[in-house]
Structure 1
C-alpha cells in the first residue's frame, strides 16, 4: 500500500491537493476579510464649518445624519451657569457614568448667541471639579467644533446622586430646566477651537461617518472557496482509495496465479 501511496502519480496528486487547499483557504480568508471590512464605518465628506444655527434649532432635534459636522458659533459664555458632566473621559465616544466613575469632568458651558439663544458647548476636560482650568473665559468668543445630538437621560448608568453643578449627561431635555432663562438649541458642540486653557484637555470627537452594511456576497464567496477545498479533499480521498484497492488487486493476482500453478 505504501508503494502505491508514494507512487509518482499519487505524489503528484498529493502535492496538487495541498496546493489547492492552501490556495482555496487563503482565497476564502481573503473574501472573509473583505466581508468584515465592508461593515466598518466609512468617513463621510467633512465640509467646512457652518453656523451652528443652521443645524441646531430650538424645539427640533439634531438628527444623527449631521452628527460630527463642523460648526461655528460666536457669542459669550455664561460663566455662572457652567456645569460639570461627571464621570467622563476626554473622548466623546467613551462610555460614561459608572463605567468611568471618578475619571474626570467635561466642562459644559452655555454660549449665548447674538439672537439670545443658548448653545451647549463642551469646552474641554479636567481631572477634578476644583481644577483651575475650569474657569470660564470672559468676553466674546468664536467657537469651532463638531455638533453632537443630545444624549438620552439614560445614556449612562449613573453612579448615584451628583453634587450641585454636576450632571450625568448632556441632555437638552434636562438642560432646558437648568438653563431656563433663554431658548436652548438642541444638541451640543464639542469645541475644537479655541484650544482649552492650560491644565484642561480637549475632548476627542470623531468626524462624521457613513452608515454602511455588510456585503454578504463576499461571505458567500468565502464559503464557496472553502466548499471547493472540501470537495478537493473528497475527490482526493476517493482517488487514493481506488488506487490503493487497485494496487492490492495487482498484488493478489500474481499470488493467485502462483497458487494455481502449484
Structure 2
C-alpha cells in the first residue's frame, strides 16, 4: 500500500491537494478577516469646531449628534469652584515629552460664558492635587475641545468618601448641586487647546465614530473557500481509493492462464 501511495502519479496528487488546502484555507481566513473588520467602528467625519452654545443647552440632554463634536467656548474660569476628578489616568504625553503615568486627577473647572451660563471644562490632568499646573488662569480664555456627555452618577457613595473639592464623576446632575449659582449647560468639554496656552497635561478625547454593519458576503466567501478545501480532500480520497482498488485487483489476477488438462495417454 505504501508503495502505491508513493507512486509518482499519486505523489503529484498529494502535493497538489496540499497546495489547494493551504491556499483555500488562507483565502477563507482572509475573507473572514475582512468580515470582522467590516463591523468595526470607523471614524466619522469631523466637522470644524462650533460654539458650545449651539450644542449644549441648559436643562436639556446632549443629542447623539453633539457627542464628541469639536466645540469652542470663550469666557472666564471660576477658580473658586474648581474640582478634582479623582482616579483618572492621562494617556497623552505631557508637555516637554514627559510621559504622564499612574493615577491622578482631572482638573474640572466651570467656565462662565458671556450669556451667564456655565459649561464644565476638563482642562487637563495633574499627578497630584498640589501640582502647580492646577492653578486656574485669570481673565478671558478661549477653549477648544470635544463635547462629552455627563458621566453616570452611580458613584454617589464614593463621592462621600473623597476629600472636599474632589468628585468621582463628571455628572451634570451632581454639579448642579455643587455649583448651585451656575446656570449649567449639559455635558462637559474636554479641552485640547486654550488661548492663552495651558501648561497642564491634555486629556485624550477620541473623535466621533460610527458603527457599520457586518458585510455578510465576506463570511459567505470564507465558508465557500473552506467548502472547496473539503471538496478537494473528498476528491483526493476517492482518487487514492480507486487507485488502490485497481492495484489490488491487478495483484490478485494470475500472471498466466491456467494450463490445459494433460492429454489422455495413448492406449
Q: Give TM-score scaled by structure 2 length.
A: 0.87
Q: Which residue of 2 aligns with 1:42?
A: 42
How well do the aligned residues superpose, as a CA RMSD in angstroms? 2.3
Cα separation, partners in 2 of 1:91 and 1:175, compared to 1, 3 Å: farther
Q: CA–CA distance in 1 between the matches of 2:84 and 2:249?
A: 88
SS of the residue aligned with 2:206? coil
SS of the residue aligned with 1:228? helix
Shift of 1:21: 0.6
Q: Which residue of 2 aligns with 1:63?
A: 63
Larger Rg computed on CA atoms: 2
Shift of 1:158: 4.8
8 A contact 1:122–1:189 mirrored in 2 = yes
SS of the residue aligned with 1:143? strand
Identify unmatched segments of 5+ residues in structure 2.
Answer: 93-101, 261-267
Q: Which residue of 1 aligns with 2:53?
A: 53
Identify unmatched segments of 5+ residues in structure 1.
Answer: 93-101
Q: Which residue of 2 aligns with 1:181?
A: 181
Q: CA–CA distance in 2 between the matches of 1:159 and 1:85?
A: 10
Q: Which residue of 1 aligns with 2:202?
A: 202
Q: Are 1:162 and 2:124 an aligned pair?
A: no
SS of the residue aligned with 2:103? coil
Q: Are 1:190 and 2:194 an aligned pair?
A: no
Shift of 1:233: 0.8
Q: Which residue of 1 aligns with 2:245?
A: 245
Task: Work out the number of aligned pairs and report it.
Answer: 250
8 A contact 1:91–1:205 mirrored in 2 = no
8 A contact 2:87–2:105 mirrored in 1 = yes
Deviations 1:49-87 (A, max 9, x none): 100011111111113332221100000000000000000
Q: Give TM-score scaled by structure 1 length.
A: 0.88
Deviations 1:157-197 (A, max 9, x none): 95971111111111111111111112111111000112864
Q: Where has structure 1 moved over 4 Å in runs of 4 or more?
A: 155-160
Q: Which residue of 2 aligns with 1:123?
A: 123
Q: CA–CA distance in 2 between the matches of 1:157 and 1:45?
A: 39
Q: CA–CA distance in 2 between the matches of 1:87 and 1:206?
A: 19
